[in-house]
Amino acid sequence: MTSPKTYQTLSVEINNKVAHIILNRPDELNSMNVDFWHEFPSVIHDINNQSAARAIVISSTGKHFSAGMDLAVFSANNNTDNIELGRKHEQLRRLVLKLQDCFSVLESVRMPVLMAIQGGCIGGAVDMVTAADCRYCTSDAFFSIEETKLGMTADVGTLQRLPKLISIGLVKELAYTGRRMPAAEAKQAGLVNQVFDDHASMLTAVIAIAEEIASRSPLAVAGCKEMINYARDHSVADSLNYMSVWQSGMFQPQNDMMEIFKAKAQNRAPEFEELTQIDPLKIF
């Protein structure tokens, strides 16, 4: 990215057009504290707006991927005793929507997001990984919708996205009971693409997949992501219609397709133009 930043809860490395975001609070089980909720969407937006990478890998440090929401987040928003009840509840609704947006950004960014998960993926961490494009985990990984154990309903995306990934009956069982779903079951259910023996081999493989994605036309890959996510949420007829509109504008065979043909003829890797940068403050 144009100006390296220092973060309290994560670090960012960009190599070979792959951005690697690493959660780095292992002593706190990478729980999602107040800083995380500010930093995480900010770095994702920066990568997207600056076209700094063509794929994003999110991994973690320590024994567990993430223990989910840090309880300090709840206490940070408890100073509402003097607020009228209706306004207090309206404020809480806006807080929930803001937290949801922190993970919805993984769907809205133009490049694919791959999750590399070790150990526990708990509570809010399940909200996060279900918003990604692909998930990979180690054999010791487990997934747990912990919220019912705390007397609440998961509210940041798990209950909306997980039924699109695995059977709804299994989602209900996991949500109602809060039990741990181990890696082998997650693979069988379709939640994760692959299971690896250890953290190192998983990272090597996931980075390699991300680099392969990054070697493709970034416009073509962005189109795939847009179309697949749209098809998930719309009818086949609507999705086909949207595909025709997208293709009529975005498909320019004289550019990326011709570059692929030239590269093959010249026995070299194709070179694609990056997606344009986004300045959210500029209208024109």
Q: How confident is the model at residue 68 (pLDDT cuts 50, 70, 90)?
A: very high
Q: How confident is the model at residue 186 (pLDDT cuts 50, 70, 90)?
A: very high
Q: Band of the pLDDT at 279, cuts 50, 70, 90?
A: confident
Residue whose tokens read 């526990």: 120
Cα distance between residue 105 and residue 128, in whole Å? 10
Q: Does residue 245 register a pLDDT over 90? A: yes
Give CA–CA dist 118/22, Å, rounded: 12
Q: What is the mean pLDDT of the chain?
A: 94
- At residue 20 the predicted structure's pLDDT band, cuts being 50, 70 and 90, is very high
Q: Are strands 113-117 and 194-196 parallel, antiparallel or unpaired?
A: unpaired
Q: What percent of the chain has pLDDT over 90?
A: 88
Residue 251's pLDDT is 87
Per-residue pLDDT tens over the stretch 134-175: 999 999 999 999 999 999 999 999 999 999 999 999 999 999
The per-residue pLDDT for 2 is: 53
As a whole number, mean pLDDT of residues 59-63 equals: 98
pLDDT of residue 254: 86
Nearest CA among 19, 14, 18, 43 for reference residue 105: 43
Does the pLDDT at position 77 exceed 80?
A: no
Q: What is the mean pLDDT of residues 257-267?
A: 95
- Cα of first residue to Cα of last residue in the chain, in angstroms, is 23
Say if residue 3's pLDDT is above 70: no
pLDDT (0 to 100) of residue 1: 64
Q: Is the pLDDT higher at 13 or at 82? A: 13
Which pLDDT belongs to residue 133? 98
Distance CA 30, CA 64 (A): 7
pLDDT score for 40: 98
Tokens of 15: 């190599």
Is the pLDDT at 56 greater than 70? The verdict is yes
